[in-house]
Amino acid sequence: MDHFRILFVCAGNICRSPLAEGIFRHLATEAGEADRFEIDSAGTGGWHQGEKPDRRSIATAAAHGINLADQRARRIETADFDRFDLILAMDQDNLKNLRKIAPPTAASKLHLFNAYALGSNKDIPDPYYGRQDDFEQVYTMLFAGCRALLPIVGKALRAS
């Protein structure tokens, strides 16, 4: 395996999953391993397709030196289940929705973000209806998870 392909998934692909994508890409770049990964994000719903991430996600990421402005929301596609090695849902609802549409062959690729990264069944809360500090809290949670995730997937890549 020359690249490890990871997909972060939330509901609309404008808040949590773009932050996770940006954070993971940033950490992989800092570690000198960005070229070893294909990193993307998607939503289980398509109502924001083509839009930039939520302005509060962009602002939160920018405050930490991460640029999300080039990302565009998209809905998960059937091909994603074959294309990606790991698909991480931000919460139990999105994981349930992914399991409904995924082919049986993709079941082992689907995980709750925090369960896979940190061994916790805690959801990453949706900050959409919250305030700016809710986005900062989500950033902190995602950063901790992505920091733990990088060596986990790096090890899987080296083992293949």
Q: What is the pLDDT of residues 67-78, one digit of tens each?
A: 998 999 999 999
C-beta contacts of 46-50 below 8 A and 24+ residues apart:
46/74, 46/75, 47/12, 48/12, 48/13, 48/14, 48/73, 49/73, 49/74, 49/75, 50/74
Mean per-residue pLDDT of the chain: 95
Could you give the C-alpha distances from 113 to 34, 59, 90, in angstroms and in order? 20, 22, 5
pLDDT above 90 covers a percentage of the chain that reads 93
Q: What is the pLDDT at residue 156?
A: 72
| Average pLDDT of the segment spanning 43-50 | 95
Diameter of the chain measured on Cα atoms: 43
pLDDT at 2 over 90: no
- State the pTM of this model: 0.97
φ/ψ (deg, to 5) at 32: 75, 25
pLDDT at 63 over 70: yes
Provide the annotated active-site residues.
10, 16, 126
Determine the average pLDDT of the residues in 5-25: 98
* Residue 4 burial by Cβ neighbours in a 10 Å radius (0-12, 13-18, 19+): buried
Domains and CATH numbers, the chain: 4-159 (3.40.50.2300)
